[in-house]
């Protein structure tokens, strides 16, 4: 199998986590989490993982880039913008491992990656990638004009034989209105090949009340493979006009669940690690469950490499 290239598009922020009576610093962001966990599970000889974003020229941004490179996540498409900084978020985790996020991101560099002088050249490169991966957050942080530019990029990539992978990750507070969100999601789903969805997000966005509604509506706009992530419940995979695949989650005792940050992001990475290297959807879902169940037993978005499943 020839080496493939995937570009993961989005935002990475400085992560602060409350720990004991202080704070620990790291980094995270939905798409970056997926990029790191994907790169950890696929040999570089099989899949090249590039991250696409914008950062500042500050020391925190430099630390992020160095850390990503150590994870085999490529940074040649990461822009450094003067007078901009990365966003920041604080995680508060309760006794059950559920977390609350506080964000400082309104003027973050990543919002402007499609408005820089180098954006055109980067977009041209991306049209020739085998896979483009992005999330609802990747869309939400952009201006309406940048969103249109991104949609055009996705369409061109598909015309060139590439595939688009989309994780819904719907965050209402990032959108100016429900209508704006629905318009953007409808447009991107129309040029998506593989969609990672959750019933909770689909309820918020479209008012769907059951799995069947989600699957029917999503296939109707042209998505050929749907992965419905359901947390501690089984994952449901629907490929167009094929039988549903239902893969049970890995059950953990409540006291082993430390932090659910990046659970969904890491599931997507595990799924793609198998699927993009020729594996079946069922095996991919199993790997997704294994990855997510490992990640939630540790604090923070990115767990130590030594803790990854074999």
pLDDT per residue as tens digits for the range 164-182: 999 999 999 999 999 999 9
Q: Hey, which residues does 14 pair with through a beta bridge?
A: 27, 88
- Tens-digit pLDDT profile for residues 76-117: 999 999 999 999 989 887 777 677 888 999 999 999 999 999
- State which residues form the domain around 166: 4-307
Contacts of 61 (CB under 8 A, 6+ apart): 55, 80, 85, 86, 109
With contact defined as beta carbons under 8 Å apart, do 274 and 233 qualify?
Answer: no
Q: What band does 300 get if pLDDT is binned at 50, 70 and 90?
A: confident
C-alpha to C-alpha distances, 26 to 12, 15, 66, 98, 310, nearest whole angstrom: 10, 5, 13, 19, 24
Q: Hey, which residues does 108 pair with through a beta bridge?
A: 85
Average pLDDT for 267-291: 98
Best CA proximity match to 234, nearest among 204, 266, 267: 267
- Structurally, the chain folds into a number of domains equal to 1
| Residue 265 appears among annotated catalytic residues | yes
pLDDT at 28 over 90: no
283 exposure class (CB count in 10 Å sphere: 0-12, 13-18, 19+): middle
With contact defined as beta carbons under 8 Å apart, do 223 and 193 qualify?
Answer: yes
Q: Which one is catalytic: 58, 200, 265, 283?
A: 265
45: CATH:
3.40.1190.20
pLDDT at 255: 87
pLDDT at 20 over 80: no
pLDDT at 15: 85
């Amino acid at each position: 199998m020839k080496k493939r290239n995937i570009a993961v598009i989005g935002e990475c922020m400085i992560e602060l986590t409350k720990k004991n009576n202080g704070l620990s610093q790291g980094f995270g962001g939905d798409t970056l989490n997926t990029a790191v966990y994907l790169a950890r599970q696929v040999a570089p000889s099989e899949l090249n993982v590039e991250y696409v974003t914008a950062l500042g020229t500050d020391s925190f941004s430099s630390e992020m880039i160095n850390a990503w490179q150590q994870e085999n996540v490529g940074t040649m498409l990461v822009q450094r913008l003067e007078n901009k900084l990365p966003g920041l978020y604080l995680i508060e985790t309760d006794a059950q491992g559920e977390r609350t996020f506080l964000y400082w991101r309104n003027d973050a560099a990543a919002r402007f990656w499609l408005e820089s002088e180098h954006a055109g050249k980067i977009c041209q490169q991306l049209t020739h990638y085998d896979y483009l991966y992005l999330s609802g957050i990747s869309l939400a942080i952009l201006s309406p004009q940048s969103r249109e530019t991104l949609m055009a990029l996705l369409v061109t990539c598909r015309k060139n034989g590439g595939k688009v992978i989309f994780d819904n990750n719907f965050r209402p507070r990032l959108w100016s209105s429900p209508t704006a969100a629905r318009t953007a999601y409808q447009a991107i789903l129309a040029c998506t090949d593989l969609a990672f969805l959750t019933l909770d997000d689909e309820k918020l966005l479209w008012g769907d009340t059951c799995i069947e509604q989600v699957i029917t509506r999503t296939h109707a706009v042209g998505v050929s493979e749907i992965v419905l992530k359901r947390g501690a419940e089984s994952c449901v995979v629907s490929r167009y006009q094929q039988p549903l695949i239902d893969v049970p989650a890995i059950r953990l005792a409540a006291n082993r669940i430390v932090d659910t940050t990046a659970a969904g992001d890491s599931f997507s990475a595990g799924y793609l690690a198998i699927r993009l290297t020729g594996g079946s959807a069922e095996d991919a879902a199993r790997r997704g469950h294994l990855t997510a169940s490992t990640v939630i037993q540790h604090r923070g978005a990115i767990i130590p490499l030594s803790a990854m499943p074999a």
